[in-house]
Structure 1
Amino acid sequence: GNVSSQLSHCHALVELAYVPQIDWQLYLSIVTERQINFTEPVVVFALRYMQDLVTLLGKTPPRTVSNYLLWRFVRHRVNNLDDRFQEAKQKFYYILFGREQSPPRWKNCVAQVNSNLGMAVGAMFVRKYFDENSKNDTLIMTKEIQMSFQEILNMTTWIDKDTKVLASEKVDEMMLRIGYPDYILDTEQLTNRYRDVEINPEKYFENTLNILQHLTRVEQANLGCKVNKTMWNTAPAVVNAYYSRNKNQIMVPAGILQPPFYHRYFPRSLNYGGIGVVIGHEITHGFDDKGRLFDKNGNLHRWWKDEAINNFHERARCLIEQYSKYTVQEVGLQIDGINTQGENIADNGGIKEAFRAYKHWLNKHGCDEETLPGLNATGMQLFFLNFAQVWCGNTRPEATRNKLKTAVHSPGKFRVIGTLTNSEDFSRVFRCPLGSPMNPRKKCSVW
């Protein structure tokens, strides 16, 4: 459906009379701990959901609602509770994901500290395992891949000139956050970030609540302030990458800048096929089915011409149909091509942009790329091999079944097959005959 009309509207608080059963002024004043007036602008996500929720609450006994709220709290804090709760969680996870045992306690401890005090852990991680050269190297690579997207955009025939100009500006305006924010290596600034957090070595559960309250205060302090687009929200010691639609910002934390995605001394083919594709993927998220709705400043409005929108939907439909045909044999279920379309668009665009940037690098340095010992593969072949290698993995059938119903990513195997069967670069580099399984005549392409 039309995400912009259904999901997000800015209203004055007084307009929440659409849902009169709740005293919004009282509720928001209590939650934010400040007096909210009727002219306060509020963004209402999914108004229909709010209306249906109020109807449901009206039909539900208060005792049930109280129990639900309490259990939601317990469910979120179960990792902070004793072994009885860990055993109950393990039984639940066994049924849900087929997980046969809980992770060791040290892993749980590290994960908790990283999610609650991410910048403090990030400072330790960066000092020990990351270096400034990797940060600069990745930043240069990101700018090259941005340039590749610009070139692909420029050659695109299905978008009108005006929309192209605005799309090009959006790529130029993307904020790049690579590795870590500089302030975490300044002890004084880092200490200041956590100055109001009370930690008592004797009170584990209270420490957790103190940190959660601190994080809430930090969030609420932003209310009424201009959006700070230079702000880092992501902990550096995390193996992931992100694109923020409403900030038009790309984040590549230090945690993902390690093998198999990246290493300073890897052949460039592996880096471009690893982290390069991830960076291209994140850039392309700015132009997937949801990202394209937001402009260069992260504002939601209709900035594409109608014809470009129709052409986009037609090309996206090709990918939806392609991925919907894939069946995960182990569980006999098909991929949901609609739920996964944004990620599939990003994968397909990302590999094209990264490969183009890699070719520019080869031309610029005018040298034969180094190969790997024991492998009779060219640099260009290694690019695609490392892209595929990154998505190798094993999943239990229960977890696969669960993910297929809700996930926005296709399973790793099909992220590789789906993307490479659409790639003319791949077929040329590996000399796949036209009409063979990995080089079908019909290919899908959005970017």
Structure 2
Amino acid sequence: MNAWSGQEGDVMGPTVTRTGSAKPNTPPLKNGNDLRESGYLIAVGSRTSRFRRKYKKRLPFFVIIIIFLLLLIAFIIITILYALAVHKKPVKLCKSTECLRSAANLALSMDPSANPCDNFYQYACGNWGSDHPRPDTYRSYDWFRDKQTKVYTIVRDFLNRNTSNQPKAVQQAKEMYVGCMDTETLNKRGLKPVIAVLESLGLPPYPTYINITEDFDYSTYTFDWLETVIKIKTQIGMDVLIGFDIYTDPKNSSVYRMVMGSPETTNPFPSTHTERKRHNGRKSQNILKRFIKETSSIYHVNRRNDKSDDDEEDEKIAQVHKIFYAELMKLFVLESEDIAKLTEVDLDKNLIEAASEYYTMSNDLYELETDNSTEADEEDYGNTPEYTVDEIQTHTDSIVELNNGTATPIWRRYLEGLFSVSTTELDFEKDKILIADSDLKYMSLMETYVSRIPPVVMELYIWVKVAEVMSVHTTTELRDLFQRAYEQTHSHSQPTPRSLQCANAVNDMLGMAVSYGIADPHFFNVTKPKIITMIEELKDALAHLVGEAKWMDDNTKVATYQKIINMKTLIGFPDWLLEDGKLEDYYDGIDVDPKKHLENMININQVKTKKVLNRFRDGNNFTWATDPTEVNAYHTFQENTITVPMVMLQHPFFDLGLDSLNYGSLGTVLGHEITHGFDNFGRLFDKNGNMLPWWSNSTIDSYVNMTQCFIDQYSGYYIPELDDHVDGKKTLGENIADNGGMREALAALKHHLKKRGPEPKLPGFEHFTSEQLFFLSYGNLWCDVSTKESLKSDLEDEHSPQKFRARGALQNSQEFAKAWRCPPGSNMNPTKRCIIF
């Protein structure tokens, strides 16, 4: 048999046929599916097969999830390892000399125990006084005075240094310093230089009043006070009784106008004390105030015959002054060859009477100046009064006659006398004089008052005024006399070293020549570009803040943008300063003799006075508002210009190592000046510096309403030493400038760092953010040491005391509260903030 045929039938053998009873009657089953469907076959492995088929398509999904979980775990582990590695990695520090110096200054100034959210000024400046003890020369001391003293030291060292190939003006500055320091020659010459000047002015060697006897006939003595006042103005540049200046036309900044009123330049010579000039954010602010129309009343004047009751302090000061003036006049009597023909007792008696008469008259005239000034009516700021000289005379004559005085023609004669030393010829029909209402009132009352004063008393008053400002620049004996009187009326005061006095004098009289000597020739390529960038960023920041302001209408915003764009900046020193021959042209006509100190200063004033009178017909050349050696900054409204002297572009205001520190210090100062163009005063002047309306009435109304917040805030600042408060209204303009400047500088810093990238850390301040360093630098800017006397003086100023300048702006900054994590309602995170820009 064929065992594996498999061709016809079953391969295992032949077909077997069953019987009918054994064969089931079912249809043929073709395959396994048919068997399972009919229930005949149950596979042993059916569950596994079913699982494999059910999840066959889901398997990749589970694999992806597992891989993702593994990757996530790996990422977390790597992140933790990276964070640990970064934490252990040394922080990038700024190790430059500038950064190390800034870190040391900040650390030594701070009081870390203070809570920055409670008293940030104490936190930033609590130990500044111990690290910067106040010199006896100053009643108060701060970074500005500290820097100015160092500038005088630098000037002194330069003037002492032997140099060659310097411009003539620089050499003259050195010779002037030599003359100032030559006290031997000054003592040898005595008071003769002053007496010679007095004679040229039409004044006697000592007041005629001193020789008065009981039988003196007042009617026989004559004195032409007006002629003397004219000579004083043209020869030494000093205002006595009458104030005069050539100033930019408030409505047209491209031309000059004549301005008259109360005396402005009452001391044309440098001060013997190095107290810094108080920044007022503007040029010739007093004159600008006069351009704003003021209310006035009927003019009446009565000479005081009885003295008002002074308190103890005022009485003490009065006695000091009277004794000083008596001693001053006595020295001139003794110096004169024509000695008074009186007994010593009668001489002393007359000296005391003369000093008392002068003091009374001086107070009377001072009251005429101050009592006639009233609050400005800003709604009429565009109506600047102008008069012909004849109109002025007619008006003042009417007031004199109303007060039973004798009118005399003085105003045309005064102007003719002034311009006689110049090349300018006046046209009294066309050349009108700008005089504010308060100044016209003063001129009328002054003429009335003077008409009642005997000529011998008029001579006495003018003599003392002139002799006083010149005498301090002569002998050691006179300087000591002045210093004693100064110390008696100014506590905590000591004399400034002679070398610094002389450096101050030369710097004040020949500031551009001194600047030439100490200017850095690399300034144009290194420092100036940085400052230009900073200023542009500050302008952009202000423009952005203006854009966000809801209280300005669109037209006013557009005008504001235009003014920001047109705003000019004078940085460091004039571009022409280092050019050959330019300095000689600037000081053309000046002569200096190292043996004649007083005459040197008088000659410089004469040249300056003539140049001012000669430029009357010229167009405005938008010159510098200050010398490059002055530690200050200015905004000149009528030129829409900010001036930043070169000494402000150095430590402690700039070049501090980090941008956060630079913007917190100098940046806020520059922002302050920029904001002045739009503060309570600056808003009166348009993009060209003209006093013309350019804000809409609705914007002005909104602005005035918003300023009340600042007035209330700063008026609430209490000074326990004086039991008094800050005057929020008087300081309004400066407070707005402080607040706006700080906000602009912070916004500019953020923009700057966004472009440049994060800055390195400051050594010792690694945990401080850039914003915290910015605020710390701003607070440090206002560190100071003050006496009670200086605080009292500060309350009379248009700036708030230093600590409130820091406190006010930071309290109004939400960014400050966020940077220092100050809880809501804390002292430095109040619920109410004052914001304009």
Q: Shorter chain as normaliser: what TM range?
A: over 0.9
Partner of 2:462: 69
CA distance in 2 between counterparts of 1:301 and 1:76 reads 39
Q: Which residue of 1 aligns with 2:413?
A: 26
Instruction: State whether structure 2 residue 692 is matched by structure 1 residue 315.
Output: no
Q: Which amino acid aligns with 1:394?
A: V
> What residue number does 2:647 align with?
255
Structure 1 residues 313 and 192: alpha-carbon distance in aligned structure 2, compared to 1, 3 A threshold: same
Q: Quick one: distance in 1 between partners of 2:492 and 2:638?
A: 36
Superposed counterparts of 1:7-22, under 5 Å: 8-16=384-392, 17-20=394-397
CA distance in 2 between partners of 1:178 and 1:101 (Å): 35
- Cα deviation, 1:156-187, whole Å, max 9, x if unaligned, reads 11011111111111111111101010111124
Give the C-alpha shift of residue 257 in structure 1: 0.8
Q: CA deviation at 1:95?
A: 4.3
Residue of 679, 690, 698 corresponding to 1:288: 679
- TM, length-normalised to structure 2: 0.51
Distance 1:9 1:378, change over 3 A: same
Distance 1:295 1:135 in 2: 27
Structure 1's 266 and 218: CA in aligned 2 closer, same or farther, altered over 3 A?
farther
Check if 1:148 corresponds to 2:541.
Answer: yes
Q: Does 1:49 align with 2:49?
A: no
Query: Is 1:197–1:211's contact at 8 Å kept on the other side of the alignment?
Result: yes
1:176 is aligned to 569
Corresponding residue for residue 776 of structure 2:
385
- Cα distance, 1:168–1:194 mapped onto 2, change above 3 Å: same
Whole-Å Cα distance in 2 between the matches of residues 68 and 276 of structure 1? 48
More moved, 413-422 vs 40-49:
40-49
Displacement after TM superposition at 1:106 (Å): 1.0
CA separation of 1:298/1:64 partners in 2, compared to 1, >3 Å: closer, same or farther?
farther
User: With CA pairs under 8 Å and 6+ residues apart, which has the higher RCO, 1 or 2?
Assistant: 2
Q: State how far apart, in whole Å, the 1-side matches of 2:727 and 2:488 are.
A: 23
Partner of 2:377: 2
Q: Which moved more, 1:93-102 or 1:198-207?
A: 93-102
Deviations 1:358-383 (A, max 9, x none): 00001111x22222111231111111
TM-fit CA distance, 1:59: 2.8
Partner of 1:416: 806
Call closer, same or farther: CA 1:51–1:195 in 2, change over 3 Å.
same
Q: Which residue of 2 aligns with 1:195?
A: 588
Distance 1:118 1:430, change over 3 A: same
Moved more, 169-178 or 26-35: 26-35
Q: For residue 65 of structure 1, report the CA deviation from its aligned partner.
A: 4.2
Partner of 2:664: 273
Tell me whether 113-122 or 1-10 shows the greater mean CA deviation. 1-10
Q: In structure 2, what is the equivalent of residue 245 of structure 1?
A: 637
Determine helix, strand or coil for the equivalent of 1:251: strand
Q: Distance in 1 between matches of 2:615 and 2:735?
A: 34
Distance 1:302 1:63 in 2: 50
Q: CA deviation at 1:14?
A: 4.6
Distance, in Å, in 2 between the alignment partners of 1:410 and 1:95 is: 27
Corresponding residue SS for 2:577 = helix
Report the secondary structure of 1:246's partner residue. helix
Which digits, 9 at most, give the CA deviation of each residue in 1:368-427, with x for residues without a partner?
A: 2222111231111111111111110112211221221x2011111000001110111211
Distance 1:137 1:74, change over 3 A: farther
More helix by share: 1
Q: Which residue of structure 2 aligns with residue 354 of structure 1?
A: 745
Give 1:218-229 correspondences, 5 Å limit: 218-229=611-622
Code of the aligned partner of 2:826: S
Q: Is the 2:625–2:634 contact (alpha carbons within 8 Å) kept by the matching residues of 1? A: no
Amino acid at match of 2:567: M
Instruction: Please point out which of 590, 598, 615 is paired with 1:205.
Output: 598
CA contact (8 A) 2:712 2:728 kept: yes
- Alpha-carbon offset, residue 220 of structure 1: 1.9
Specify which of 811, 814, 817 is matched with residue 427 of structure 1: 817
- 1:27 deviation in Å? 1.3
Spell out the pairing of 1:13-162 with structure 2 (5 A cutoff). Answer: 13-16=389-392, 17-20=394-397, 23-33=410-420, 34-60=424-450, 61=453, 62-77=455-470, 79-127=472-520, 132-162=525-555
Percent identical pairs in the alignment equals 34
Q: In the superposition, relative to structure 1, how do residues 226 and 377 fare at CA in structure 2: closer, same or farther (>3 Å)?
A: same
Question: Unpaired runs of 5+ in structure 1?
Answer: none
Q: Distance in 2 between matches of 1:423 and 1:431?
A: 12
CA distance in 2, matches of 1:79, 1:152: 51
SS in 2 for 1:150: helix
Change (3 A) 1:53 1:268: same
The 8 Å contact of residues 629 and 646 in structure 2, kept in 1 or not, is answered as: yes
Q: How many residues align?
A: 443
> Where in structure 2 are the equivalents of 1:314-353 lying within 5 Å?
314-353=705-744
1:77 is displaced (CA, Å) by 3.8
CA distance in 1, matches of 2:681, 2:833: 22
Question: Which runs of no fewer than 5 residues in structure 2 stay unpaired?
Answer: 1-375, 398-406
Residue pair 2:661, 2:777 contacting (<8 A) in 1 also = yes
> In the alignment, what sits opposite 1:374?
764
Q: Post-superposition shift, 1:323?
A: 0.7
Shift of 1:81: 3.1
Instruction: Name the CA distance, whole Å, in 1 between partners of 2:432 and 2:724.
Output: 41
For the Cα contact (< 8 Å) 1:262–1:274, is it kept in 2?
yes
Q: Secondary structure at the match of 1:149?
A: helix
Contact 2:676 2:733 (8 Å CA) reproduced: yes
**Change over 3 Å in CA distance of 1:444–1:96 after alignment to 2:** farther
Structure 1 letter corresponding to 2:377: N
* 8 Å contact kept, 1:179–1:253: yes
2:572–2:628 Cα contact (<8 Å) kept: yes
Q: Give the 3-state SS of the residue equivalent to 1:80 in structure 2.
A: coil
Deviations 1:330-385 (A, max 9, x none): 222211111111110100000000100000001111x2222211123111111111
Closer, same or farther in 2 for the Cα pair 1:14/1:157, shift >3 Å? Answer: farther
**Which letter maps to 2:418?**
V
